[in-house]
Amino acid sequence: MTIKVKAIIGSTSSTSFNLKLVEFMKNRYADQLDITPVFINDVEMFSVDLENAVPANVKSFKDNVKDSDAVLFAVPEYNFSIPGALKNAVDWLSRGGDFTIKDKPAFIIGSSMGALGSVRAQIHLREILSNPALAPVLLPGNEVYIGSIHEKLNEEGELIDQGTIAFLDQVVENFVEFYNKNKAAVLV
């Protein structure tokens, strides 16, 4: 059985390195993870004025994420933090009382052209996700910070850096084990 994973793409760029990573993972780990990218480009800006009349694009986004066994956040770093569009999407996930990602197994990856590979953005995202209205169950101790990503892809945008691939192999193996332990704990 494969784990149904919705991968929230934290960038709105059509040339997103993080989307390329998710596409790589979707292909490489298809026997373990059924990964579907979820885009945040059209998610309406959050406003309490809209909270009781949720826009169709927000409802579609939330329903898409909710229809999963697990969530993968693919996070770029903008100005030492997460992109505003990602923060907006996460804000919607915390609203409406439906607890879209609460207790859902999740993990985070991130890349950038810089040396730190979205480390600050991921620190901020982890803090945001600790909100009780969000509270996914994050894979501990498997931080994926891929720096200099532009040097680790070929001309077709495919990940070719063997060290990074081996690291992702281990993280995915760890996540599958983590997921199965969480699932077993819930069934007890």
Assign residue 137 a region: left if phi > 0, alpha if psi is -120 to 50, beta otherwise? beta
Domain that holds residue 16: 3-187
* The pLDDT of residue 11 is above 60: yes
Please tell me the predicted confidence (pLDDT) of residue 97.
Answer: 87
User: pLDDT-based confidence at 1, cuts 50/70/90?
Assistant: confident
Residues 154, 177: Cα–Cα separation, whole Å: 31
How crowded is the C-beta side of 174, counted as CA atoms within 13 Å?
16
* The pLDDT of residue 3 is above 70: yes
> At CA 45, angle to CA 41 and CA 46, rounded to 5?
130
Please list, residue by residue across 143-169, b when 16 or more beta carbons sit within 10 angstroms of its beta carbon and e when fewer do. bbbbbebeebbeeeeebebeebeeebe
Please tell me the predicted confidence (pLDDT) of residue 185.
Answer: 77
User: pLDDT-based confidence at 187, cuts 50/70/90?
Assistant: low
Residue 185 or residue 137, greater confidence: 137
- Spatial neighbors of 117 by CB under 8 A, at least 6 apart, are 77, 110, 111, 144, 145, 146, 147, 148, 149
Number of domains comprising the chain: 1
Q: Using one digit for the tens of pLDDT, what is the confidence trace for 89-118? A: 999 999 988 999 999 999 999 999 999 999
CATH of residue 98's domain is 3.40.50.360
* The pLDDT of residue 188 is above 60: no
* The pLDDT of residue 163 is above 80: yes
Q: What is the pTM of this model?
A: 0.96
